[in-house]
Amino acid sequence: MIRVDHAGEYGAVRIYEGQLAVLGKRGSAETIRHMAEQEQRHLKTFDRLVNERKVRPTALEPLWRVAGYALGVGTALMGEKAAFACTAAVEEAIDEHYAGQISELGERDPELKSTVEDFRADEAAHRQTALDHGAEQAPGYKFLSEAIKAGCRIAIKLSEKI
Ligand SMILES: [Fe+2]
Ligand SMILES: [Fe+2]
């Protein structure tokens, strides 16, 4: 769980970095920057958990480094609404993923569970922010959203194992 969450938060940081490289001076930059800072906090926490609990980080980090950034840049180049469509889709996939972990953890590992619950609330807020900024009005929203969610689910599966 810690391996995949660490990988996911790293991917999130890279997506927002990619978005900010394109949209850093646009009206939505402050909103994106605020979410990016929260992803940094999430990543830092999972960095600590990886170290404390001697978890082997995903071997796919170099892939997520490039893929996350490319997804951020690519959607941002399609416009601010597409960038928010990307955020809404990613956060929806992460929300599902964290919800699954929370129910799987049950009474075990209260530290990890409360961390996941805490971050899940942030991700849900990011999703809402993205929707509030017109994510659904992005051109090709349905396709874009489904494709990104499918990609996230594959990335989650891979990062659990590899
Ligand atoms: Fe996050
Ligand atoms: Fe997030």
- Mean pLDDT confidence for 103-125: 95
Q: Cα 36 from chain centroid?
A: 10
Contact 46/95 with Cβ under 8 angstroms? no
CA of 37 to the centre of ligand 2 (A): 10
Average pLDDT, the chain: 95
All residues with CB under 5 Å from ion ligand 1: 9, 12, 39, 42
* Ligand (nearest to CA of 123): 2
pLDDT tens column, 74-110: 999 999 999 999 999 999 999 999 999 999 999 999 9
State residue 92's pLDDT score: 95
CA of 142 to the centre of ligand 1 (A): 23
State residue 45's pLDDT score: 97
* Ligand (nearest to CA of 9): 1
State residue 65's pLDDT score: 95
Q: Which two tokens stand for residue 70?
A: 């490319």
Altogether, the residues listed in the chain come to a count of 162
